[in-house]
A and B are shown apart, each in its own frame.
Chain A
Amino acid sequence: MIDFIWLIIALPLLSAVLLHFLGRYLGEPLSGWLATVAIGASFVFALVAALPFFEGGAEASTVPLWEWMPAVGASFEIQWDPLSAMMALVVTGVGTLIHVFAISYMHGDERFARFFTYLNLFVASMLTLVLAGNYAMLFLGWELVGLCSYLLIGFWFTRPSAAAAAKKAFVVNRIGDFGFMIALMLVFTSFGTLSFAGVFERAPEVLTTGTATAIGLLMLVGAAGKSAQIPLYVWLPDAMEGPTPVSALIHAATMVTAGVYVIARSAAIFELAPAASMTVATVGAITAIWAATIALAQRDIKRVLAYSTVSQLGYMFLAVGSTAYVAGLFHLMTHAFFKALLFLGAGAVIHAMNGEQDMHKMGGLLKRMPVTGITMGIATLAIAGIPPMAGFWSKDEILGAAFERGGWFSVLFVVGLVTALLTSFYMSRQWVLVFLGEPRWSEGVDPHKAPRLMGVPLIALAVLSVLGGLVNTPFRYTLEHFLEPVFEGISVQHPPEGIGMFLIVAGLSVVAGLVGAAAALVTYRQPASSWRRFEEGLQPLWGTWEDAYRVDDFYGRTLVAPGKRVAEVMAFDVDLAFIDGAVNGIAGFFLGLGQRLRPLQTGYVRNYAALLFAGAVVVVAWLLAGGGL
């Protein structure tokens, strides 16, 4: 079994290759189904392969495939342990559902097959990332998912905004990768290998705190890029230019969690660098509240979800930064369920509204699309942390861990709590704006029920959003035990012991969730004019939030524009005018010298004779002087 573990990656990859070359002949919807089956098979295979871990006691194993760059310790090898199994299952599981949804969603697109090619490629890449046995291969997956993200955001390339967003996503990710790359340099220089096994085993003896902190912080830079944390989160909202299934799969459920995964994976290094961990947590917490406030004021249904994703990722960072790795991963999983559901639901809504994304132009859709409405409602409750939904358990565990950690983390705990309140508010606001109240549709829009095929994944995810949390409750820490072997020998922060503390933390978070939800409900159940007044009343804060603190603008003015200016100066003033000018100048110098010397050749014999005679005098004088006379 384990020898064929590479099939998990190979199946979607193979499907991608097939679709690339044959997709055009397979047509719609066959190519979609092929892709779905490939992922599904991958899921089943992963599930079977993971069974030993459920039973406990199974050893993590590393399966070498082939050499890649031995000189820097890079090879193709698969790490199969509970952590990668969990990630693989989440990726393939959620992926399968989203594929099913996409078959319906992408109906009629002229590049239907190509879409599934990319989607499959993405899944393969993501699996490479999570199954990698060393940092180099992880980086391979890391970059490939970036590529797929680029391709899929820019899928509708004829829209300039989509193309620009795709490029932005890739470039911003590259900036993060820059940090990650340096981290890898440090790792290799310190260990002489990049393989997880080698690094983690020897980390305590090899790494000084300084180096470990440096590596940790650099990994944070990389993770911040991929997982859209401050200050590199700006690409994610724009990434919503891609088709909605892409947003669901890549920019909510899987790819963006890669950063969390990496930090969890590198726990052994962070173990030696508490400062780095604390930075991770802090960045996470700040991102969480920062993005939550922005999400409050968004009108675009997908943008709300995008900022919400950023915010939730912040939670995960807060978790892994607090060394509550299990909590972080747990939230990663539950978030995958409910956020994917939210995106798919939003996709269905947009689909139904003929592409309309402005929530101000929605309303009252519950009657038209009950399945979508209800499933999204469940997801909203889940993200708001209302028990017994999945989100409640995971979020509670994060807050509990932070709370338990104390000290600076107590501050982060409070931030987290406030964020929970805000989350609940804006999610409820969204649901209410979309599904309740009077219809504010544009003319000609006639929302229709989601096709049945779209409904299936919605329902499946809704079930998972409800039940998913049960894998790790204070009553039964299944996931914790499942992942235990991974974090062996590492001090993992656990939620507070005892039911009392649990109730305090849970109570606070539930209260926050309920208050937020209630506030939103109260505010946005009223007619549009009234909540508009409410939003007006919060100016200018509301506007700032709506404009996302104008960070894009800020980056544009402080980085992009000056950067471009520098490039122009370099290219035209320095390169063309100065350097090339100098080159031509030297050539011109000789030409000019020639022209300058031409008059010497006057054409007069007597001048020639004078020159010759002068030459003779010089020669003779030189000889005499050289002869010492």
Chain B
Amino acid sequence: MVDPGLYMTVAAVLFFIGALGMLVRRNALVMFMCIELMLNAVNLTLISAGRAMNDLNGQVAVFFILVVAAAEVVVGLAIIVAIFRRRSTASVDELNEMRG
């Protein structure tokens, strides 16, 4: 069998990529996808760790995180749509009125 640590390493890489994606992409939707990537990494970590320790709670936790992710998506997309309809852009780089 594969060492759970390897799964978690993959998860860490996913998290890392997701985080970097947050930094380099300017489309709000894609940024949001990156967050989903990160959450997936978290889920993978939880499941792998739970398995390594013979604990089912990891999987239960994943269930909740999935729900959270879904709810976040709904609201997030609503916000993005709302902004798009006013500004006709989804690029966060154009949202920098407030600074300093």
Tell me if chain B binds chain A: yes
**For A605, what are the chain B residues with a Cβ–Cβ distance below 8 Å?**
31, 92, 95
Which of A599, A602, A613 touches B23 (beta carbons < 8 Å)?
A613
Interface residues in B23-72 by Cβ distance below 8 A to A read 23-26, 31
| Complexed CA–CA distance, A610 and B24 (Å) | 9
Write out, one digit per residue, whether chain A residues 587-609 have a CB within 8 A of any chain B CB (1) or not (0). 00000000000110111111001
B24 proximity list for chain A (CB < 8 A) = 606
Within 8 A of B (CB), among A559-617: 598-599, 601-606, 609-610, 613
Chain A residues with CB under 8 A of B23:
606, 609-610, 613
Q: Which residues of A contact B93 (CB under 8 A)?
A: 604, 606
A602 / chain B contacts, CB cutoff of 8 Å:
96, 99
Distance of A601 Cα from B23 Cα, bound (Å): 15
CB contacts (< 8 Å) of A613 on chain B: these are: 19, 22-23
Q: B97 contacts the other chain (Cβ, under 8 Å)?
A: yes
Residue of B nearest to A605 (CB): B92
Complex formed: what's the CA distance from A260 to B99 in Å? Answer: 81
Which of A598, A603, A609, A610 meets B98, CB within 8 Å?
A603
- Contact for A609 among B22, B99, B100, CB less than 8 A: B22
Task: Evaluate contact between B19 and A601: CB separation under 8 angstroms.
Answer: no
B97 touches A603 (CB 8 A): yes
Q: Determine if B99 and A601 form an interchain contact, defined as CB atoms under 8 angstroms apart.
A: yes
Would you give the 0/1 interface string for B83-100, flagging 1 where the beta carbon is closer than 8 Å to chain A? 000000000110111111
Closest Cβ–Cβ distance, residue B46 to chain A (whole Å): 19
A604 cross-chain contacts in B, Cβ below 8 A? 92-93, 96, 99
A610 proximity list for chain B (CB < 8 A): 23
Nearest B residue to A595 by beta-carbon distance? B100
- Least CB distance, A612 to chain B, in whole angstroms: 9
Asked if B100 contacts A598 (CB within 8 A), the reply is yes
Complex: chain A residue closest to B25, CB-CB: A606
Mark each residue of chain A from 240 to 264: 1 if its CB lies under 8 Å from any CB of chain B, else 0. 0000000000000000000000000
- Tell me whether B19 and A603 are in contact (CB under 8 A): no
Residues of A within 8 A of B25 (CB): 606
- Cα separation A80 to B31 with both chains bound (whole Å): 103
Q: Are A603 and B92 in contact (CB under 8 A)?
A: no
Q: Which of A299-323 contact B (CB under 8 A)?
A: none
Q: Is the CB of B26 within 8 A of A606?
A: yes
CB distance from A211 to the nearest CB of B (A): 71
B33 shortest CB reach to chain A, Å: 14
- Count of chain B residues with Cβ under 8 Å from any Cβ of A? 15
Closest to B95 in A: A605
Cβ-neighbour of A603 out of B22, B26, B31, B96 (below 8 A): B96
Residues of B within 8 A of A609 (CB): 22-23
Residues of A within 8 A of B99 (CB): 598, 601-604
A250 to B31, CA, bound (A): 97
- Give which listed residue, A598, A599, A601, A606, contacts B22 with CB less than 8 A: A606
CB closest chain-A residue, reference B100: A598
Residue from A598, A602, A603 with most neighbouring chain B CB atoms (10 Å): A603
Shortest CB distance A598–B (Å):
5
Contact A601 B100 (CB under 8 A): yes
Query: In whole angstroms, what is the CA distance A425 to B98 when docked?
Result: 95
How many Å lie between the Cα of A602 and that of B97 in the bound state? Answer: 9
Q: Which residues of A contact B19 (CB under 8 A)?
A: 613
Tell me the bound Cα distance from A602 to B100 in angstroms. 6
A209 to chain B minimum Cβ distance, whole angstroms, is 77
Give the Cβ gap from B85 to chain A, nearest Cβ, in Å.
Answer: 19
Determine how close the nearest CB of chain A comes to the CB of B95; give it in whole angstroms: 7
Closest to A598 in B: B100
Please, how many angstroms separate the alpha-carbon atoms of A598 and B24 in the complex?
Answer: 22
Instruction: For A598, list chain B residues within 8 Å (CB).
Output: 99-100
> Shortest distance in angstroms between A329's beta carbon and chain B's nearest beta carbon?
84
Instruction: Please give the distance in Å from A603's CB to the nearest CB on chain B.
Output: 3
- Cβ–Cβ < 8 Å partners of A599 in chain B: 100
Report how far A604 CA is from B26 CA in the complex, Å.
10
Task: Closest A residue to B20 by CB, please name it.
Answer: A613
Within 1-34 of B, Cβ neighbours of A (below 8 Å) are at 19, 22-26, 31
A603 to B99 alpha-carbon distance, docked (Å)? 4
Please give, as numbers and ranges, the residues of chain A lying within 8 Å of B92 by CB-CB distance: 604-606
Complex: how many Å from CA A623 to CA B100? 30
Distance (Å) between the CB of A109 and the closest chain B CB?
A: 73
* Smallest Cβ-Cβ distance to A594: which chain B residue: B100
B22, B23, B92 interface centre (most CB from chain A within 10 Å): B23
Q: Complex: how many Å from CA A606 to CA B34?
A: 13
A613 — nearest CB in chain B belongs to which residue? B19
Residue of B nearest to A616 (CB): B19
Residues of A contacting B100 with CB < 8 Å? Answer: 598-599, 601, 603
Once the chains are docked, how many angstroms separate the CA of A609 from the CA of B23?
6
Q: How far is the CA of A609 from the CA of B22 in the complex (A)?
A: 7
Residue of A nearest to B94 (CB): A604
A566 to chain B, nearest CB (A): 47
Q: Nearest chain-A residue to B23 (Cβ)?
A: A610
Taking the nearest CB of chain A, how far is it from the CB of B11, in angstroms? 16
- Alpha-carbon distance between A605 and B25 when the two chains are bound, in angstroms: 10
Complex CA gap A610/B92 in Å reads 14
Q: Which residues of A contact B98 (CB under 8 A)?
A: 603
Which residues on A sit within 8 Å (CB–CB) of B95? 603, 605
Residues of chain A lying within 8 A (CB to CB) of residue B96 = 602-604
B81 CB, nearest partner CB in chain A, Å = 17
Query: Which of B22, B24, B97 has its CB near the most chain A CB atoms (within 10 A)?
Result: B22
- Inter-chain CA distance A236–B23, complex, in Å, is 87
Chain A residue nearest in CB terms to B98:
A603
User: How far is it, in angstroms, between the C-alpha of A604 and the C-alpha of B25 when the chains are bound?
Assistant: 12
Q: Which residues of the partner chain A approach B31 to less than 8 Å between Cβ atoms?
A: 605-606
Q: Please, which residues of chain A bring their CB within 8 A of the CB of B97?
A: 603
Instruction: Report the Cα distance A601→B96, complex, angstroms.
Output: 10
Q: How far is the CB of B84 from chain A (nearest CB, A)?
A: 15
Which residues of the partner chain B approach A606 to less than 8 Å between Cβ atoms? Answer: 22-26, 31, 92-93
- B83 → chain A, closest Cβ, in Å? 12
* Residue of A598, A605, A610, A613 contacting most chain B CB atoms (<10 Å): A605
Shortest beta-carbon distance, B21 to chain A, in Å? Answer: 10
B99, chain A: closest CB distance, angstroms: 3
**Which 8 A-B pairs have CB atoms at the shortest separation, nearest pair first?**
A603-B99, A603-B96, A605-B92, A598-B100, A609-B22, A610-B23, A604-B96, A601-B99
Jot down 11 A-B pairs with beta carbons below 8 A, ordered by A: A601-B100, A602-B96, A603-B95, A603-B96, A603-B97, A603-B100, A605-B95, A606-B24, A606-B25, A610-B23, A613-B19
Name A residues whose Cβ lies closer than 8 Å to a Cβ of B: 598-599, 601-606, 609-610, 613
Other contacts beyond A601-B100, A603-B100, A606-B24: 4, CB < 8 A? A598-B99, A602-B99, A603-B96, A606-B26
